[in-house]
């Protein structure tokens, strides 16, 4: 049954959701670097509210395999449509950007590439290897798609030994048909559990957006399911609507509720929990493995 989502938020945006403006010398220098190397970042493509903060700290989440996604998730600002050709020089340029920034921890994500048998896993592996060759001491987190459930594709990524393997569940199962079109909750859990079976020493990470109409008990159940899948790191943040074409915000979750969820996360056994209105899956990612 299709779930109807109320098109109107229940309250004006609260003051705690104000993020730093994208200004400053570091911000502009990083923007020039990304343009010079012809790279994409999820910070820009997904309209992340933390871009001003992160870029001024000279950190960014690089998005490989182009900036056109083969899925049409209702929450995401990334462009949808026919995918771009795979650019096999992209891993080298990502590594060059990481070196120019002097990164100690890099985060790599991608659009969904359902047009490819491996879902783009090969490019994740090549990018990890390129960064390792250029910056041997740099930690690397990858935020992967579900690869349509292919364990063989996930093996390609794991064999390159990222320091953290992140795959977001994003929302509760009841809302998947609206929020994550083309994805399946059980498939995401399976992929996370497979990571821990295949490479138990690599921390597994997942995250949820709140405010899309989920109930508190549904959030609690997803947290329990993630721990059952041996996920180590959890992120919880407020969904923010990128445009009027995207899913509406049903409610703003209070700072106190986020604090309660963080406390529950540690009680359930997560090794690290980031929970707050402006938390995103890659925000301050290096702190989870410090």
Tell if the pTM clears 0.75, that is, is over it.
yes
Region 96-125: mean pLDDT is 91
Question: Which residue did the predictor score with more confidence, 68 or 3?
Answer: 68
Shortest CA distance to 30 belongs to which of 135, 132, 102?
102
pLDDT tens-digit readout, 210-226: 999 999 999 999 999 99
For residue 166, what pLDDT band results from cuts at 50, 70 and 90? very high
For residue 60, what pLDDT band results from cuts at 50, 70 and 90? low
Whole-number CA gyration radius for the chain:
18
Question: Which residue did the predictor score with more confidence, 245 or 43?
Answer: 245
**Distance of alpha carbon 21 from alpha carbon 31, whole angstroms:** 14
For residue 111, what pLDDT band results from cuts at 50, 70 and 90? confident
**For the chain, which domains are there?**
23-289 (3.20.20.70)
For 207, the token pair is: 């995250």
For residue 162, what pLDDT band results from cuts at 50, 70 and 90? very high
Region 43-69: mean pLDDT is 64
Shortest CA distance to 205 belongs to which of 230, 181, 222, 184?
230
Helices (H), the chain: 25-36, 42-45, 51-56, 90-101, 121-134, 151-158, 176-179, 185-198, 216-228, 255-268
pLDDT of 46: 47
pLDDT tens-digit readout, 254-280: 999 999 999 999 999 999 999 999 898
For residue 286, what pLDDT band results from cuts at 50, 70 and 90? confident
Q: What is the DSSP string of 2-67?
A: PPP--SS-SSPPPGGGPPPPS-SHHHHHHHHHHHHTT-EEHHHHTT-TTHHHHHHTT--EEEES-S
What is residue 224's three-state secondary structure? helix
């Amino acid at each position: 049954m299709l779930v109807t989502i109320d098109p109107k938020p229940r309250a004006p945006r609260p003051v705690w959701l104000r993020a730093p403006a994208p200004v400053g010398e570091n911000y502009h220098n990083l923007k020039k670097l990304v343009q010079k190397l012809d790279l994409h970042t999820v910070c820009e493509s997904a309209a992340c509210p933390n871009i001003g903060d992160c870029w001024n700290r000279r950190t960014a989440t690089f998005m490989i395999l182009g900036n056109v996604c083969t899925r049409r998730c209702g929450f995401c600002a990334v462009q949808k449509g026919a995918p771009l050709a795979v650019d096999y020089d992209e891993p080298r340029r990502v590594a060059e950007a990481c070196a120019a920034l002097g990164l100690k921890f890099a985060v790599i994500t991608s659009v969904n590439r359902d047009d490819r048998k491996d879902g783009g896993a090969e490019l994740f592996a090549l990018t990890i290897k390129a960064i390792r060759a250029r910056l041997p001491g740099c930690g690397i987190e990858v935020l992967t798609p579900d690869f349509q459930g292919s364990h063989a594709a996930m093996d390609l990524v794991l064999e390159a030994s990222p320091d953290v393997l992140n795959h977001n569940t994003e929302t509760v199962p009841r809302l998947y048909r609206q929020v994550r079109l083309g994805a399946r909750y059980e498939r995401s859990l399976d992929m996370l559990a497979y990571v821990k079976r295949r490479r138990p020493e690599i921390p597994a990470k997942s995250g949820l957006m709140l405010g899309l109409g989920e109930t508190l008990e549904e959030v609690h159940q997803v947290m329990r399911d993630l721990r059952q899948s041996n996920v180590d790191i959890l992120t919880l943040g407020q969904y923010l609507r990128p445009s009027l074409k995207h899913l509406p915000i049903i409610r703003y979750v209070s700072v106190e509720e986020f604090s309660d969820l963080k406390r529950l996360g540690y009680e359930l056994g997560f090794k690290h929990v980031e929970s707050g209105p402006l938390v995103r899956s890659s925000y301050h990612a290096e702190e989870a493995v410090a």
